[in-house]
Amino acid sequence: MKKYDNYVSHLRVLERADREQLDNEFIISGIIDKFSIQFELGWKMLKELLAFEGSSAAVTGSPRGIIKEAYAVYSFFDGELWLDMLKDRNDMAHIYDGNAAGELVKRILSRYIPEFIRLEAELRERYADTLKTI
């Protein structure tokens, strides 16, 4: 599945964020941008997997709708955390001060990246070789 492959490939880059200079504004901005892309890849991948599962919500789903449906379909999916990610992603455009950006990066590093990694592992376990065929 191309969307899964893109999700994993991008995640390998984002996983290295904690090794960067976290006091550098450009690094902070880059981590936030990478998080935004990872979130987009994630919910769109979930949308495709839900369609594969036969979910009608996947036809026109918004990120919020897809997150709620994924929570209903996948017992391992942390819908509340993904809704937090959605809120942070939506609020990113309104972050003008370095302290708020720094706090977002802390959440990305401590909560969101581990969740992206966990989702990758859960989906790989659930779908195994199927991911290569859909």
Highest mean pLDDT among 35-39, 59-63, 124-128 belongs to 35-39
Q: How many domains does the structure of the chain reveal?
A: 1
Task: Output the CA torsion 65→66→67→68 (10° steps).
Answer: 50
What pLDDT sits at residue 60? 76
Residue-range definition of the domain harbouring residue 52: 2-133
> CA 65 → CA 46, 50, 55, distances in Å?
11, 11, 11
What pLDDT sits at residue 98? 73
Going 40 to 14 to 31 to 6, the CA torsion angle's sign is negative
DSSP 116-131: HHHHHHHHHHHHTTHH
- What CATH code is carried by the domain that includes residue 39? 1.20.120.330
What pLDDT sits at residue 95? 73
d(CA 131, CA 117) in angstroms, rounded, equals: 16
pLDDT (tens digit per residue) in 21-56: 998 999 999 999 999 999 999 999 999 999 999 998
